[in-house]
Each structure stands twice: as structure tokens, then as C-alpha cells.
Structure 1
């Protein structure tokens, strides 16, 4: 058998297509069109998109709940507004009655004042009598 000699580092290696010197970098295989870096970036983008979709879904759900709560509050305020408007309508009616009563009292005071200034010792006139109901037969 032939004796194997150690390789001399000062001597250039014989080049052969199949023989690769020890410690030499291996040639990288040619990419087949798919880059692992691009695949990793695409996977990361998909994960971020899924996370963003989940966050937006939760925001929409929270907004729906808030809209429901606000709608209930609006309905309560509308009911209170209707009640307040009804009170205002009765207020104006009652104010008109009070004004007419005050006007009637002021007229009576003016009449009594005229009577007192005309004859201070006269007896007070009787109020007008109500019509008597017809007698039953």
C-alpha cells in the first residue's frame, strides 16, 4: 500500500473537483428561489397582522359595549326631557291661573278701597249669591 504523506501547508494543493482540502470553506448550495430570510419575514408579518386583527376586534367589541351603554343613557335622558317638557307645559297653565287669580284679587282690593274711601263706616257688601237650584216638585 501506498504511504499517506502529510500535506505541506506551503505547497499548493492539487485541485480536483472532488477533493476539498481540510479546513477549506464548503461551497454553499445554490438557492432554489426560496429564501429562508424572506420566509421568516413573511411569517413575522403574518404574526403581526394576526395580533393587530385580534386587537382591532377587541376594540370593536369594546366600542359596541360603549355604544350600548350610551344608547341606554340617551334613552333615559330623553325620558327625563319629556317629563321636564310636560312640567313646563303645566307650569305655564298654572302661571296663567295664578295671574288671573292675582288680577281678580287686585280688582277686589281696588273695589274695597273705593268703597272705604267713599264711606268708611259702611257695611261690607255681601258677595253675589249663587243661583239657587230649582225646587223639586
Structure 2
């Protein structure tokens, strides 16, 4: 089942671009808690390499019977850095939590590391909805 885009993330406005970017990050969390990358692919363009990487990793979790036990990323802010006819770019800052990765029996496989990071997300509004077209990652 694909995620329902929140009402705040539907119109073609600056605030909606910010809401969509935050929603996309939440869908990364969902993809690793209930493994599968379908929603990420549905919310992104086919040429978004980072989007495919996140989706493929979530699919690999599913194939191995693994999942994360909680949300990995907590968005602390999302701000449209550029918003004009040519470019819609949102900076998303987040806290990365230390989260357990477990197998199908609930046994610990690994634990993610804690930290801070940011995504610079390029978005496009096409056919009545937002799409992620590129994600650049920064961590610190």
C-alpha cells in the first residue's frame, strides 16, 4: 500500500514543498520499519539515484527478513532554499537516532549510529503532485 500524501503537501506552494520533503523523509522511516521501497519510488522520479538507493536498501531488508525497530530520522526543520519556476529545493535537517535492526525473530542484527545530518532535496511539481528528483546528503 502506498502512502497517502498529507493535505499540507499537495498544492504547488513553497510551504507544500517543505511539507512534502518532510513527508518523504518520514516515508524513508516507514520503508525501513515495514521494509519495502515501493512508496519511495512512487514519490520520486525514475532518475533520482538516492531515492532508488533508499528503496533498494529497504527491499534488501525485506528479502533478508530484517527491519528497523523505530524511526531512524527525525526532521528538525525543512526550509525551501530555492523556490522559483526552474528550481524547487528544500533543505531538510534531521537528527539520526540509534535504532536497532532486528531479524524476523526479533534478534538484534545491528544498530545504527546516532548523529545529525541534512538532505538537500530537489523537487518537481508534475501532473498535480510533488516528486523528489534528487537528494544530496550531508552529515555531521
TM-score (norm 2): 0.20
TM-score (norm 1): 0.20
Larger radius of gyration: 1
More helix by share: 1
More strand by share: 2
Could you say which structure has the greater relative contact order, defined with CA pairs below 8 angstroms and 6 or more residues apart?
2
